[in-house]
């Protein structure tokens, strides 16, 4: 298993560019199935999760070519509705294929994705929404056999603004007869990106970014050329890297509005941040200040995907910080690893209390999920001595060339 060796205490300096968002690219790739015509997608990050999504699309008949960060997808010969188990198990977000395959084929077979490192991750809201559109779902022996004679528009109220459920329902409704209205929809920027992509192929989706999304069914879609939006979590990760090392760096290809909740926290911690020409420049103080209380919420609240990264910064801030994780029940797995590095953190249920120390100490630690793993890398950048982060395949799921980018900024990090 690959690992990182990091020798900490180096200041970072320079410029980096963020690529397209994984969490946009995945549903956008699923949405390609709506069309019978070729689609060109730009700025698709090179990540294991994306590779697996590409393998799923190939396995059901899509022809796909990659040229750097551009994917050319020809979905004209899709001929299967069976989504292969092995990929669904590896990439949980492949559940978003369900809505797209149903829109295209009116049936789909997918293994139940089950829980993952960060929590149980039920899909009840996805399935309730699809049933409202007329899909019959037979849940047997761990498989979901889905079939619809007709997909018919419906009024759907989500109990919770789930990102995946909103995307799956949007996708299935694009070809339904009549109009679908999703209320209490997720408002994440990636939902707006999916709407824009669907509309670029001839779809009629409106309202994404608000809590009510309206989807008018259309009969056919055409091809499209589309660039996915920049990854706000990756941008936030590099901002946190600058903060934890007391550095000054510039990050380009950033939508400033999408990172507002993180920028607010960084400013509270004493960083100065300016926004210009789709770029952001951060200058961190020698010592960060503690942040009173951060609670994760659906967008535009503070993202759960930034929680571990914010925590790594706060381990070395002056004073006591509190973080409440409201979204996933098992998202503090990085805490015992940070404690091994000298952090002073106590958790009780979904609350973590972080008492800042002067500096972390290098140790051998284990990445057990994507963002928690990246947070340990940031901790290693601060730490005195050598840090080994094991199981970095989790980190590879969401960061293209993390070590190259950090090295270009002056970090001492290598993949072993």
Closer by beta carbon to ligand UD1, 93 or else 196: 93
- Comparing CB distances to ligand UD1, the nearer of 53 and 345 is 53
Give the whole-angstrom CA distance, residue 190 versus residue 276: 22
In angstroms and rounded to an integer, the radius of gyration of the C-alpha atoms of the chain is 21
Span of 122-130, 201-209, 250-258, 259-267 interacting with ligand UD1 by CB under 6 A: 122-130
Beta carbons of 84 and 155 less than 8 angstroms apart: no
| Alpha carbons 250 and 228: distance in angstroms, whole number | 21
User: In angstroms, rounded to a whole number, what is the distance separating the alpha carbons of residues 292 and 294?
Assistant: 7
Contacts of 3 (CB under 8 A, 6+ apart): 388, 389, 390, 391, 392, 415, 416
Give every CB contact of residue 266 below 8 A, 6+ residues apart in sequence: 239, 240, 243, 273, 282
Least gap, CB of 53 to ligand UD1 (angstroms): 10
Of positions 29, 62, 71, 125, contacts ligand UD1 by CB under 6 A: 125
Query: What is each CA distance from 407 to 76, 319, 355, 386, 413, in whole angstroms?
Result: 42, 30, 29, 15, 6
3-state secondary structure of 395: helix
User: Site mask, ligand UD1, residues 248-287, x = CB under 6 A?
Assistant: ----------------------------------------
Q: How far is the CB of 129 from ligand UD1 (least distance, A)?
A: 9
> Angle 370-382/307-314 helices, nearest 10 degrees?
20
Residue placing its CB nearer to ligand UD1 in the complex, 112 or 283: 112
Q: Is 304 in the site for ligand UD1 (CB under 6 A)?
A: yes
116 is catalytic: yes
Residue 165 binds ligand UD1 (CB under 6 A)? yes
Are residues 168 and 174 in contact, defined by beta-carbon separation less than 8 angstroms?
no
> Judged by CB under 6 A, does residue 122 bind ligand UD1?
yes
Could you say which of 29, 31, 101, 123 contacts ligand UD1 (CB under 6 A)? 123
List, in sequence order, every beta strand (DSSP E) within 186-329.
Answer: 204-206, 212-216, 224-227, 248-252, 272-276, 279-283, 293-295, 320-324
Based on the shown chain and the rule CB under 6 A, indicate whether residue 52 belongs to the binding site for ligand UD1.
no
Cα-based angle 369, 190, 250 (whole degrees, multiple of 5)? 75
Q: Supply the DSSP symbol for 296.
A: B
Nearer residue to ligand UD1 within complex by CB, 62 or 186? 186
Q: Which of 126, 187, 258, 265 touches ligand UD1 (CB under 6 A)?
A: 126
Nearer to ligand UD1, 76 or 124 (CB): 124
* Contact window for ligand UD1 (CB under 6 A) among 103-111, 191-199, 235-243, 301-309: 301-309
**Is 369 near ligand UD1 (CB under 6 A)?**
no
121 binds ligand UD1 (CB under 6 A): yes
Tokens standing for 213? 């999304």
Site string for ligand UD1, 65-104 (x = CB under 6 A): ----------------------------x-----------
Phi, psi for residue 190 in degrees, rounded to 5: -65, -25
Q: Is residue 23 a contact point for ligand UD1 (CB under 6 A)?
A: yes
Q: What is the DSSP letter of 253?
A: S
Q: Are 290 and 318 in contact (CB under 8 A)?
A: yes
Q: Residues touching ligand UD1: how many (CB under 6 A)? A: 22
Residue 164 lies near ligand UD1 (rule: CB under 6 A): yes
Helix (H) or strand (E) holding 373: helix 370-382
Q: Give SS3 for 11.
A: coil
Rule CB under 6 A: is residue 191 a binding residue for ligand UD1?
Answer: no
Judged by CB under 6 A, does residue 397 bind ligand UD1?
Answer: no
Tell me 344's DSSP state. E
Least distance to ligand UD1, CB of residue 414, Å? 27
Instruction: Give the nearer residue to ligand UD1 in terms of CB position, either 3 or 187.
Output: 187
CA 247, CA 16: separation in Å to the nearest integer?
14
- Which residue, 232 or 340, has its beta carbon nearer to ligand UD1? 232
Residue 30 engages ligand UD1 in binding (rule: CB under 6 A): no
- Interacting residues toward ligand UD1 by CB under 6 A: 23, 26, 93, 119, 121-126, 160, 162-165, 186, 190, 303-305, 327-328
- Residues marked as catalytic: 116
């Amino acid at each position: 298993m690959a690992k990182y060796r990091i020798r900490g205490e180096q200041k970072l300096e320079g410029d980096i560019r963020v690529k397209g968002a994984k969490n946009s690219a995945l549903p956008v790739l699923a949405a390609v199935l709506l069309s019978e015509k070729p689609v060109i997608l730009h700025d698709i990050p090179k990540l294991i999760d994306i590779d697996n999504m590409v393998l799923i699309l190939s396995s059901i008949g899509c022809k796909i070519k990659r040229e750097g960060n551009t994917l050319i997808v020809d979905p004209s010969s899709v001929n299967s509705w069976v989504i292969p188990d092995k990929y669904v198990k590896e990439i949980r977000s492949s559940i978003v294929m369900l809505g797209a395959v149903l829109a295209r084929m009116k049936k789909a077979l997918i293994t139940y994705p089950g829980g993952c490192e960060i929590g149980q991750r039920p899909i009840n809201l996805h399935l309730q929404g699809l049933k409202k559109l007329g899909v019959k779902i037979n849940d047997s022996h761990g498989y979901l056999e889905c079939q619809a004679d007709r997909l018919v528009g419906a009024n759907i109220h989500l109990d919770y603004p789930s990102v995946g459920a909103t995307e799956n329902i949007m996708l299935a409704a694009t070809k339904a007869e009549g109009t679908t209205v999703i209320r209490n929809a997720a408002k994440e920027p990636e939902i707006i990106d999916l709407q824009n992509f669907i509309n670029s192929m001839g779809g009629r989706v409106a309202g994404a970014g608000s809590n009510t999304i309206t989807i008018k069914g259309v009969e056919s879609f055409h091809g499209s050329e589309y660039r996915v939006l920049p990854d706000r979590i990756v941008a936030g990760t590099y901002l946190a890297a600058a903060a934890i090392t007391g550095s000054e760096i510039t990050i380009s290809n950033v939508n400033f509005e999408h990172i507002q909740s993180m920028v607010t926290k960084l400013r509270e911690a004493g960083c100065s941040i300016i926004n210009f020409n789709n770029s952001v420049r951060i200058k961190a103080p020698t010592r960060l200040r503690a942040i009173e209380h951060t609670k994760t919420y659906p967008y535009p609240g503070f993202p759960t995907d930034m929680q571990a990264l914010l925590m790594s910064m706060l381990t070395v801030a002056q004073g006591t910080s509190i973080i409440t994780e409201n979204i996933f029940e098992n998202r503090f797995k990085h805490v015992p690893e940070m404690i091994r590095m000298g952090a002073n953190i106590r958790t009780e249920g979904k609350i973590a209390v972080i008492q800042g120390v002067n500096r972390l100490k290098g140790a051998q630690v284990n990445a057990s999920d994507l963002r928690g793993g990246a947070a340990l890398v940031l901790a290693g950048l601060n730490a005195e001595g050598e840090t080994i982060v094991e199981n970095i395949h989790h980190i590879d799921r969401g960061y293209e060339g993390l070590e190259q980018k950090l090295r270009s900024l002056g970090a001492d990090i290598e993949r072993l």
